[in-house]
Amino acid sequence: MTKSKTGYFALGFFAFAALFIIIAFGSPYWLVTDGKLKDSKFLKIGLWEVCFNKFEDVHHWYDTVFNSCWWIFEEEFYIIHDILLPGFFIATQFFFTITLCCVLLSMFLVFLYLKKDKDDDDYLTLLVTLGTVLVIGGFSGIISVVTFGARGDGRDWMPHWQNNDLGWAYALGVVGVISLFPAGILFLIVARVHKYKKLHEMQSREPSAYNMHERNLGYTRGHTDI
C-alpha cells in the first residue's frame, strides 16, 4: 500500500536505528583499550562479552588468570563479579535490553503497518502504538548510553583506565538510540494527520447525508399533498 512521505521517512529512521542498535547490542566494543599499553590486562568489553589478557583477581583470593574473550556471565567470572558487574553496568544492560525489545516489537508493528490499508479500523491505533513504542525505546536507550558514557571509562572500573576509550559499538548505540526519536515522532505525526483526515471525511459526509434526508422528506411530503 502507498504510504505518505512522512511515513517513508519514519521507516528510514527506524531501519537505520534498528540496524545500529542490534549491532551495538551484540558487539564487544563498548569500551576498548587504545593499544598504547603492550601488556594491558583489559582488551575490550560489550554488554555481554569481555576480553582479558592475563587478568587476575584483584583481591588475590584465587590464582585464576583470565585470557581471551568470554561471555560476561560465564561461571568462572563469579570470583570477580563485584568488579565486572558494577551497578551502573547492570543498569546499562537492563535499559539497552528494553530498547532492543522495543525495536523487535516495532519490527512486527512495521510489518503490520506496511500490510494494512489506511481504511482499516485499527490503522490509527497501530500508528500510535508504533510511535509510542519507539519513543519509549528511545528514552530507555538514552538512560543506558548516558549511564555507560558517564562511568564506562572511569578509573574505578576496568584496569588501565587511562588507556581505555569508548568504542565504535557504543557510538553506534548512541546514534541508533537517538534515531528512534524522529522515527517514533514521525509515526505519531502520521497518526495525527490520519486522524484529522478521518474527522474531515466524516464531517464532509454528514451534511450530504442530511441533505439527502431532507430531499427524501420533501419528496414524501409532495406525494402526500397530491
**pLDDT value of position 201:** 64
Backbone φ, ψ for residue 31 (5° rounding): -135, 130
Q: CA–CA separation, 36 vs 39, rounded Å?
A: 9
Q: Kindly tell me the sign of the dihedral angle through the C-alpha atoms of 124, 129, 132, 138.
A: negative
**What pLDDT is stored for residue 214 in this prediction?**
53
> Per-residue pLDDT for 221 more than 90?
no
The number of domains in the chain is 1
Over 50: is that where the pLDDT of 148 sits?
A: yes
The CATH number of the domain holding residue 213 is: 1.20.140.150
Give the model's pLDDT for residue 195: 80
Give the range of the structural domain holding residue 87, as residue numbers without chain letter. Answer: 5-225
* Residue 215 pLDDT level (bands cut at 50, 70, 90): low
Segment 8-38, tens digit of pLDDT: 999 999 999 999 999 999 999 999 998 787 7
pLDDT digit string, tens, across residues 87-112: 999 999 999 999 999 999 999 999 99
Q: Is the separation of the CB atoms in 44 and 32 below 8 Å?
A: yes
Strands, E, within the chain: which ranges? Answer: 31-33, 42-45, 49-56, 65-71, 164-166
Distance CA 155, CA 66 (A): 20
Cell numbers 584465587: residue: 62
